[in-house]
Structure 1
Amino acid sequence: MTETTAAGTGAGTDWQGWQHSWDRQQEWYLPDREERFRVMLDMVEATVGRTPRVLDLACGTGSITARLLDRFPGAVSTGVDLDPALLAIAEGTFAGDDRVTLVTADLKDPHWPAALPYPSYDAILTATALHWLHRDPLAVLYGQMAGLVRDGGVFMNVDHMIDDSTPRINAAERALRHERMDQAKADGAVDWAAWWQLAAEDPVLAEPTARRFAIYGEHADGDMPPVSWHAETLRAAGFGEARAVWCSPSDTLLLALK
């Protein structure tokens, strides 16, 4: 099911406060989160300029859209997600901003692009979301991306992309990352489960949070294939070039140019 809505609900709720708490929770897992957003927007500017039409894919609370519009006030953004609670925060955050359209859609539904307000985009951006999909539906989605990006446009995905050929390196990186996460949690950081508990207790977010867990459960079970798989799949889908433009020890920002 798809539904297109103009941004704006929940008068009186501190939507910026919820955005801030979501950012802090995500940064517990991804301490270099802002750096990846910066490089992503650098590459938007480098490839399609400062006034892009952007599709914020699996947008959540609109983290990419917020940073996009701060940096490029002339941009427009379409945010797509299925999560009712995160979309409620996005709707509250961007209320009254006619540069933003939010679309409720299931990316596994082959007809979801029909709900989009534009037939094509200069850039499609997504962050730490598509690992919720297994490889076969992700390959289908990549094919849809090739159809939605204009010639000369870009698709960028920054996510966990695990190289199984380096198990000792992976284990060492994971051990240090989790040691630091444990210390941050001991110092008061809020993790995924605790954040959702707070959302479930909020008078405005309680109902959409309940619907969110009815859709997803605790967490979706997807794949984290290596960078090479993503690049090869995107090229096979119709992109002319695809490679990493940023990486951390565990995550990669992969750019595909149409």
Structure 2
Amino acid sequence: MTDTVTVTDWQAWQRSWDRQQEWYLPDREERFRAMLDAVEAVVGLEPRILDLACGTGSISDRALRRFPGATSTGVDLDPALLTIARGHFAADGRAAFVTADLRDPAWPERLPHRTYDAVLTATVLHWLRSDELRVLYGQVAGLVRDGGVFLNADHMPDPATPRLNAAEHAYQKERQARARAEGIQDWVDWWQTAAGDAALAGPVAERFAIFGNPADGDHADGEAQSPAWHADALREAGFGEARTVWCSVSDAMVLGLK
């Protein structure tokens, strides 16, 4: 009698995560491209990257495909998303992953390098309160080498355009409803599917213990600030220059140059 060994397709889980995220962010690939354009322009083709709040490693995945000579350290607290990331990059020695809570003042001590050419993050830091984000920006400023770059692409609505913001929000809700009718998973559905997978059930249970079950409601208590707020906060944290380098109606990407 031969035992059957089930091998998890981590690449399939990575693609599944990307599809779910694109339901919320149809311009997700565009912002990744703009992010890596900025990295290449500022620090070149072989950057040492810190993928901040990396999730499944979406930024690392695109960066390492674009820059074969790059290396990336992903840091996150979510055990389920890190499980996917580690599985996806298991054969790629250029990527490493660290478990750490960005609210822990000592999280930088877990990293394998003291400085990085580029620190990159997307669609995560709005989960932090403004005071927490200011502290984090100060820590990031200490990790970016002189001449290096920090890029944060996130929800950054402009309070000066409330009617435009409302119209765009309504449009996105209609677009999402059409995609849902075609079978696209949302955040809650994706997590319930992951919880039912044998290889992810344990890490997902750990994740629910940390953050709560998405089916029970939104656990985030953060604050979305404007691009101008982020640029000012980065300059206050120690970056010599900071400005918006990409935007949509509701989202933007702010760059800090050390």
TM-score between the two structures when normalised by the length of structure 1: 0.95
Counterpart contact for 2:119–2:144, Cα < 8 Å: yes
RMSD: 1.1
Partner in structure 1 of residue 177 of structure 2: 182
Partner in structure 2 of residue 7 of structure 1: none
Q: Helix, strand or coil for the counterpart of 1:123? A: strand
Partner in structure 2 of residue 160 of structure 1: 155
Q: What is the distance in 1 between the residues matched to 2:8 and 2:91?
A: 15
When structure 1 is superposed on structure 2, of 213-222 and 143-152 the one drifting more is 213-222
Q: What is the distance in 2 between the residues matched to 1:116 and 1:32?
A: 30
Question: Structure 1 counterpart of 2:200, which letter?
Answer: L
- Within the alignment, does 1:23 sit opposite 2:24 as a pair? no
C-alpha distance after superposition, 1:74-103 (max 9, x if no partner):
000000000000000000001032111100
Give the counterpart of 1:142 among 137, 140, 147.
137
How big is the shift at 1:18?
0.2
- Within the alignment, does 1:206 sit opposite 2:201 as a pair? yes
Identical counterparts, % of pairs: 67
TM-score between the two structures when normalised by the length of structure 2: 0.95
- Within the alignment, does 1:242 sit opposite 2:242 as a pair? yes
Say how many residue pairs are matched: 249
Partner in structure 1 of residue 78 of structure 2: 83
Q: What is the distance in 1 between the residues matched to 2:246 and 2:162?
A: 21
Give the counterpart of 1:49 among 41, 44, 67.
44
Question: Structure 1 counterpart of 2:257, which letter?
Answer: L
Unaligned runs of 5+ in 2: none
- Within the alignment, does 1:72 sit opposite 2:67 as a pair? yes
Partner in structure 1 of residue 233 of structure 2: 233
Q: Helix, strand or coil for the counterpart of 1:223? A: coil
Partner in structure 2 of residue 195 of structure 1: 190
Question: Structure 1 counterpart of 2:158, which letter?
Answer: D
Q: What is the distance in 1 between the residues matched to 2:177 and 2:93?
A: 41
C-alpha distance after superposition, 1:162-183 (max 9, x if no partner):
2223211110010011111101
Q: What is the distance in 2 between the residues matched to 1:77 and 1:241?
A: 24
How big is the shift at 1:11?
7.6
Counterpart contact for 2:118–2:149, Cα < 8 Å: yes
Question: Structure 2 counterpart of 1:239, which letter?
Answer: F
Change in 2 beyond 3 A, CA 1:11/1:224: farther
Structure 1 stretches of at least 4 aligned residues deviating more than 6 Å after TM superposition: none
Change in 2 beyond 3 A, CA 1:11/1:73: farther
Counterpart contact for 2:157–2:249, Cα < 8 Å: no
Change in 2 beyond 3 A, CA 1:81/1:11: farther
Q: What is the distance in 1 between the residues matched to 2:92 and 2:220?
A: 31
Q: Helix, strand or coil for the counterpart of 2:73? A: strand
Counterpart contact for 2:227–2:253, Cα < 8 Å: no
Q: Helix, strand or coil for the counterpart of 2:209? A: helix
Q: Greater relative contact order: 1 or 2 (C-alpha under 8 angstroms, separation 6 or more)? A: 1
Q: What is the distance in 2 between the residues matched to 1:20 and 1:226?
A: 30
Q: What is the distance in 2 between the residues matched to 1:220 and 1:102?
A: 23
Q: What is the distance in 2 between the residues matched to 1:105 and 1:11?
A: 30
Q: Helix, strand or coil for the counterpart of 2:235? A: helix
* 1:118-129 matched pairs, under 5 angstroms: 118-129=113-124
Q: What is the distance in 1 between the residues matched to 2:220 and 2:45?
A: 35
Unaligned runs of 5+ in 1: 1-9
- Within the alignment, does 1:95 sit opposite 2:90 as a pair? yes
Q: What is the distance in 1 between the residues matched to 2:50 and 2:242?
A: 18
How big is the shift at 1:22?
0.2
